[in-house]
Amino acid sequence: MTIPVASATPSPVPETINVAVLGAAGRMGRTVCDAIEAAAGLELVARYDAGDDFSVVRESGAHVAVDFTVPGVTEANVHALLDAGIHAVVGTTGWTDESRQRVREHLAQPAVAAARTGVLIAPNFGLSAVLAMTFAARAARYFESVEVIELHHPDKIDAPSGTARHTAAAIAAARADAGMAPSPDATETGHDARGADVDGVRVHAVRLRGLVAHEEILFGNVGEQLSIRQDSFDRVSFMPGVLLAVREVVTRPGLTVGLENVLDLS
């Protein structure tokens, strides 16, 4: 996969994609390893975790590495992968505008750019979650009212969820682009029942034993409603998104942020 800088030929998509997993001993990492081993056209060639030498990855023949580690090391991992000419799919949280910008700059270096290496950073690999968010943003300009309800298990310490915040922000941006007024709201008493305000969009957080991670976006016009709901019951639900990302990142040089950008939604 390491391509000589002199070559102008982009790296072809390999028939079998060799995959290394970083954070392979974690709960998410183990699930990813299982999924890759079971997937047609993918081969698991390295399991890397804290304490291992990075040569395990570098010398594995991996075309793509999947990083589900921790915020403190994920950026360093990505730079090491780029140096090794390995595409990266990143599910670890904690990325900032600055850390993403450093990855962009690294990707722009002549040798890396010539190798057409790709990095995909996604805060969420759940197809249902990503599609719900994407569709909600697209529907936003066509409805007078919108609110978001997220529902999670009661052990969650933050509210509302990051996904719900992200969804509300995307909806708010789409409404602003379309020059829309805020959703109507005549509430005079009882504002504490009206949820959090995220960029002008009301977000309600429900905590219920037995739930995992769920989100519902409600749109309203006179005489009609549109509701988009997604349910994530198990982390195994992220695997179709991870596998899709592995297959897509090899054809997408540069930095891609968000799984929605590798989906065909036109």
Active site residue ranges: 152, 156
180 binds its own copies (CB under 8 A): no
Residue 180, marked binder? no
DSSP 2: P
56 binds its own copies (CB under 8 A): no
Q: Which residue of 1, 25, 169, 263 would you call a contact of its own copies, by CB under 8 A?
A: 263
219 binds its own copies (CB under 8 A): yes
DSSP 5: T
Among candidates 14, 100, 28, 23, which has minimal Cα distance to 57? Answer: 23
**Cα dihedral sign for 110, 115, 116, 119?**
negative
Instruction: For the segment 185-214, give every residue that binds its own copies (CB under 8 A).
Output: 185-197, 202-211
Residue 190, C-beta contacts closer than 8 angstroms, at least 6 positions apart: none
Q: Which residue of 128, 163, 167, 256 would you call a contact of its own copies, by CB under 8 A?
A: 128
Q: How far apart are the first and last CA of the chain?
A: 32
Q: How far apart are CA 256 and CA 266, in angstroms?
A: 18
Evaluate the omega torsion of the peptide bond into residue 253 and state whether it is cis, within 30 degrees of 0.
no
Q: How far apart are CA 16 and CA 21, in angstroms?
A: 16
Nearer to its own copies, 24 or 129 (CB): 129
Number of amino acids touching its own copies (CB under 8 A): 76
The minimum distance between CB 193 and its own copies, in angstroms, equals: 4
179 binds its own copies (CB under 8 A): no
Q: Which residue of 30, 100, 141, 247 would you call a contact of its own copies, by CB under 8 A?
A: 141
Choose one: 7-15, 43-51, 60-68, 140-148; the region binding its own copies (CB under 8 A).
Answer: 140-148
User: What token pair was written down for 209?
Assistant: 């034993």
Choose one: 74-82, 83-91, 108-116, 217-225; the region binding its own copies (CB under 8 A).
Answer: 217-225
154 binds its own copies (CB under 8 A): yes
253 binds its own copies (CB under 8 A): no
Residue 121, C-beta contacts closer than 8 angstroms, at least 6 positions apart: 90, 95, 100, 103, 255, 256, 257, 258
Among candidates 88, 44, 49, 52, which has minimal Cα distance to 69? Answer: 49
Choose one: 65-73, 89-97, 106-114, 218-226; the region binding its own copies (CB under 8 A).
Answer: 218-226
91 binds its own copies (CB under 8 A): no
Q: Which residues are annotated as a binding site for NAD(+)?
A: 23-28, 91-93, 122-125
